[in-house]
Amino acid sequence: MDISSLIDSLHPLEVKVLSIFGANPSAVLRTEELAESTGLEPSQLSMAVEWLLAKSLLAVDSETVTPIVSLTKIGELYFEKHSPIERVLSAARDLAKNGKRLTIQDIQSREGLEPSEVSGAIGRLKKEGALLIIQGGCIESTGRPSQTAEAMRGLLQQLHGASRELQAFSEAQRQVIQDHAVKRGNAREPFRIDDRVARALKLSVVGIEAAQQLSRQGTAEEVSQLTSELLKDGSWRTKRFRKYTISLRAPRIAPGKRHPYREFLDTVKTKLVSMGFQEMRGSLVETEFWNMDALFMPQFHPARDIHDVYFVKEPTHASSIAEPFLSRVTQAHQDGGETGSTGWNYSFDAERARRLVLRSQGTAVSAHTLAAQPAVPGKYFSIARCFRYDQVDATHATDFFQVEGIVLGGDINFRTLLGLLNLFAREVAQAKEVKFLPAYFPFTEPSVELHVRHPKLGWMELGGAGLFRPEVTLPLGVTVPVIAWGLGLDRMAMVALGIHDIRELFTDNLDLIRSTRGAL
């Protein structure tokens, strides 16, 4: 870096320190002198000095370390209430006058001292011959003075509210201070010894050059922020703008954004609309009729069990099921009615049909659409929240989205069904290779499972589809063939979002939601 860009990058505090040297580049100045001549706060000065040292503009000429003694909080407390050693000694003397003896516990409770303070004090007093420990753990004053107690009193008075250099004390005092100074592992002491480092500083070779250049160019006032005032009165022309260290990490912000899973579903939605599909919506609460009966799932079907579907507590039943659908579906179940089917050959329970459940499959929405005179030709889709009576774990959710729909038209047959699935494979999964496998769904015949080779995931099941059975379409008033299709997108979504647990799709972790990029 050349000198002028070095100078440009200096902080105003650094400039201030350097310019003190400007008058006499070869001077050696102590920190106190610098403090005085710059007028900076000690913390500011020390920051500026450290920066300049780091940039090798300043160098340390010499360094003197002076130990300084001061009182800790404990020390100030001892100043007010006397030190434990004095209190133990005087307690022992007091009682000796009354002819009593004290146990160590008595002193502790009488004086409200810590056990360690009492035992420390007694130890020292005994060593100095001021106390005796006699039978039963009692102590007795010998009447002799304690040098430590004396010294301690004097030191507490001298150091109260002021610190002094350690060297200012006598050898004996220094010993007491060192014995009672805060050390690692023993913070409960009255004295603290700190090293005061006094540095003498001088300019380095580069520093001399910088200081000279600074004094030559004069000190245009440096500002950190362009303001409206500077612009209005044009005074920005006389200012210097401090340069930033732009390699620093940017502060984080939280933008407003879509949920990554919703973003994924939005993309799917957009693709479906672009393929000519119209969106359908339905109700979270459904009757068994629309959720299952209309789909030709017999009322004894295992998937209608109490262990598969959530039933509503109150009210338990819908008030009615619309006609003519109820009668026609009843017929279809019992003996096929007019559908050309033999039916399931059981007695259909119309009461059961009104039972309220939480929608367990998106196909319920399609059933409603079929009954509502849909367009022919017509394409419909829904992204419907569905509920299953499942233990929640990493791969099972109790509450999830199903993407599915229908296609109606005179040209619908098994081959156009395969054609549509090809289109989904290409558009939704970017897959060129597909496999069609025979499958079983209660409401379609023939039924197909669509497997695709996903560019990232390899072979995976993308969805299931089929032609609605005539037992489904005819009772609902639809006479053209209808494709029913469903896409299983959760695995793709989880990969796109980089998660392995299906529960994380609905996570409550804001940090995770904010930081997930989401991508297709």
Partner 1 sequence: MPTITIFKQDLEGLLAGPGEARQPITMEQLEESLMLVKGELKGQNPDTGELRIELQDSNRPDLWCCEGIARQIRVKRQGALVRYDFLTATSTSVKRLNVAHGLEKVRPYVAACTATGLRVTQEGLAQLIQTQEKIAEMFGRKRRTVSIGLYRLGAIEFPVTYDLVKPDDATFTPLGMDTDMTLGEMLLVHPKGLEFGGILAGQDRLPFLRDAKGQALSFPPIINSREVGEVRVGDDALFVEVTGTDLSMVVLTLNIFAANLADRGAVIEPIEVMYPYKTDLGEAVMTPLDLGKSRTLPVRTIEQALGQALGAHEVAKALAGYGYEVMSMGEEVTVTLPLYRQDLMHAMDVVEDVAISRGYGDFLPVMPSQFTVGGLSRIEEVSDRVRALMVGMGFQEIISNILGSPKDLRDAMRLEGTEWGELVEVDNVMSQNFSALRQWMLPSLLRVEAASSRAFYPHRMFEAGEVARPDPTQPLGSRTVAVLGGVIAHADAHFSEVHSCLDTLFYYVGQAYRLEPIQHPSFLAGRVGSIVSGGKQVGVIGELHPEVLERWQISIPAVAFEIDLTELAERS
User: Residues 402 to 431: which contact partner 1 by CB under 8 A?
Assistant: 407, 409-416, 418-423
Query: Is 403 within 8 Å of 486 (Cβ atoms)?
Result: yes
Query: Is 369 within 8 Å of 280 (Cβ atoms)?
Result: yes
Measured between its terminal Cα atoms, the distance across the chain in Å is 46
Residue 343 and residue 469: Cα distance in Å, rounded? 11
Residue 390 C-beta-side C-alpha neighbours within 13 Å:
15
Q: Give the residue, chosen from 399, 427, 477, 495, that forms a contact with partner 1 under the rule CB under 8 A.
A: 399
Q: Cβ 436 to partner 1, closest distance in Å?
A: 4
Q: Cβ 454 to partner 1, closest distance in Å?
A: 18
Which residues inside 350-369 make contact with partner 1, applying CB under 8 A?
Answer: 356, 358
- Which candidate, 156, 10, 5, 192, places its Cα nearest to that of 81? 156
Residue 347 and residue 357: Cα distance in Å, rounded? 21
Cβ closest to partner 1, residue 343 vs residue 362: 343
Q: Cβ 472 to partner 1, closest distance in Å?
A: 10
Q: Tell me which stretch binds partner 1 (CB under 8 A): 117-125, 179-187, 234-242, 391-399.
A: 391-399
Q: Give the residue, chosen from 342, 347, 351, 458, that forms a contact with partner 1 under the rule CB under 8 A.
A: 342
Q: Tell me which stretch binds partner 1 (CB under 8 A): 46-54, 73-81, 177-185, 502-510.
A: 502-510
Residue 439 is a binding residue for partner 1 (CB under 8 A) = yes
Which residues inside 213-272 make contact with partner 1, applying CB under 8 A?
Answer: 252, 254-259, 261-262, 266, 269, 272
Residue 324 is a binding residue for partner 1 (CB under 8 A) = no
Q: Tell me which stretch binds partner 1 (CB under 8 A): 65-73, 182-190, 392-400, 485-493.
A: 392-400
* Strand spans (E) along 14-158: 29-30, 58-71, 102-103, 131-134, 138-141
Residue 513 is a binding residue for partner 1 (CB under 8 A) = yes
Residue 347 is a binding residue for partner 1 (CB under 8 A) = no
Other beta carbons less than 10 A from residue 304's beta carbon: 20
Query: Is 280 within 8 Å of 272 (Cβ atoms)?
Result: no
Cα 177 off chain centre by: 49
Cβ closest to partner 1, residue 84 vs residue 481: 481
- φ/ψ of 374, rounded to 5, equals -70, 165
Cβ closest to partner 1, residue 151 vs residue 448: 448
Q: Cβ 255 to partner 1, closest distance in Å?
A: 7
Residue 345 and residue 332: Cα distance in Å, rounded? 9
Residue 311 is a binding residue for partner 1 (CB under 8 A) = yes
Which residues inside 267-296 make contact with partner 1, applying CB under 8 A?
Answer: 269, 272-287
Total residues binding partner 1 (CB under 8 A): 102
DSSP class of residue 506 equals G
3-state secondary structure of 419: helix
Cβ closest to partner 1, residue 2 vs residue 314: 314
Cβ closest to partner 1, residue 236 vs residue 310: 310
Beta strands 222-223 and 58-71, pairing class: unpaired
Cβ closest to partner 1, residue 45 vs residue 272: 272
